[in-house]
Amino acid sequence: MDALPVVDLTAFRNDPSGPEGLAVVAELRRAAHEVGFVYLCGHGVDPNLDETMFGTAREFFDLPEADRCALAIEHSPAFRGYTILGDEVTNGRSDWRDQLDLGPEQPPPEHGPDDPAWMRLRGPNQWPAALPTMAPTVLHWMAAMDNVGITALRALAVGLGLPIDHFDHGFLPESDVHLKIIRYPSSTTDAGDGQGVGLHSDTGLLTFILQDEVGGLQVQIGGEMIDAPARPGMYLMNLGEMLETATDGYLKATPHRVVSPPPGRERISIAYFFNPRFELPFERVELPDELAAVAPGADHDGVGLRVFGENNLKTRLRSHPDVARRHYADLA
């Protein structure tokens, strides 16, 4: 495979049960089953909003380092805030990127000693005081992406022989989505091995990636690494381990990585993890016989044993040991 598939959501958005909408369903199901990554166009988001997000991201990374570090993620038990270069870990190795992690704007939770630890994952974001336009811009874009996520999940539900609203209860009226605004510096830095982010698959349901033209994202298909560059007007969507396990492997959570940009360049990427509410218990999907017959099986480190919040917390603690030490020492 030389290039990842492209699916236009327009017909499904206009008439989900019509013949053209069902053709989109079949295309998306095929891409999710065979590849696990797909470019989406016809999603309904104003491209000017994407450009505004890129501009906001660049303004954030142009702030003085002291302003960014004032938002250090270690201040937040909800894992919201800024991570300096090399402080996030994938597969036991440091990722050469810095980033701002955000989520739904929420008050600090009232957390008692008998409440599950994953409740601490909710809370307020940390916003830079020097960039007052950032919060409204980002929250507006997140609301637009929620609509894209619901559309994609509904198309997948129909493709799996389920009611169109099968997944809605995990996301409506609210969910526990996660946003990363990421900068990958040039490979001429002290990164050494060029790992922007190591090879991994995502843990949730769906991820949507908005990236600039620099490139560096690679997807593992059939043992080969396939480049996944930006395509104008499109989001790159990939499926997570929770959805792969729920469908017994029929839908794929495909491993991917980011290599550091070439000398003299830096890369901006915005990753939107369309995750359900933390309380959502894992539920297996009853597949039609013809789909179940070609499902190879899947189990990712006990995904099926947890509500989503437990599985998400496990991943966050592994990726951010500084937050784990400061706010979750009682779990050690």
CA atoms in the 13 A half-sphere facing the CB of 325:
5
Q: What is the pLDDT of residue 196?
A: 80
Whether 193 shows a pLDDT value over 70: the answer reads: no
What are the helix (H) ranges across 120-216? 134-159
Tokens 């496990």 sit at which residue? 314
Confidence of residue 301 (pLDDT cuts 50, 70, 90): low
pLDDT of residue 186: 82
Q: Nearest CA to 166 among 283, 312, 34? A: 283
- The answer to whether position 100 is within a domain reads yes
What residues does 271 pair with on adjacent strands?
A: 180, 209
pLDDT surpasses 80 at 300: no
State the pLDDT at residue 103: 97
Position 155 scores a pLDDT of: 98
* Domain membership flag for residue 257: yes
Query: Residue range 158-178: average pLDDT?
Result: 96
Which residues is 195 bridged to in the sheet?
A: 259
The one-letter amino acid code at 56 reads T
pLDDT of 191 > 70? The answer is no
- Residue 242 in domain: yes
What is residue 52's predicted lDDT score, i.e. its pLDDT?
98
What was the pLDDT predicted at 264? 86
- If one counts the domains in the chain, the total is 1
Q: Could you give the 3-state DSSP secondary structure of residue 319?
A: helix
CATH number of the domain where residue 210 is located:
2.60.120.330
Range 224-243 average pLDDT: 95
Among 66-80, 260-274, 301-315, which stretch is predicted with the lowest mean pLDDT?
301-315
**Closest C-alpha to 178, from 100, 73, 107, 83:** 100
- Pairing between strand 267-274 and 178-184? antiparallel
Query: Residue 14 in 3-state DSSP?
Result: helix
Whether 281 contacts 86, CB under 8 Å = no
Q: What is the pLDDT of residues 282-293, one digit of tens each?
A: 889 999 999 999
| Residue 66 banded pLDDT, cuts 50, 70, 90 | very high
DSSP state of 77: T
pLDDT at 189: 47
1 part of a folded domain: no
List pLDDT tens digits, range 89-99.
777 677 788 99
Range of the domain at 282: 6-331
End-to-end CA distance of the chain: 44
Averaged pLDDT for residues 34-48: 97
Determine the pLDDT at residue 304.
56
Taking all residues of the chain, what is their mean pLDDT, rounded to a whole number?
92
Q: What's 169's DSSP letter?
A: G
Q: Indicate the angle between helix axes 19-34 and 134-159, nearest 10 degrees.
A: 100
Dist CA 45 CA 48 (whole Å): 9
- How far is C-alpha 227 from the geometric centre of its chain's CA atoms? 18
Q: Is the Cβ–Cβ distance between 39 and 147 less than 8 Å? A: no
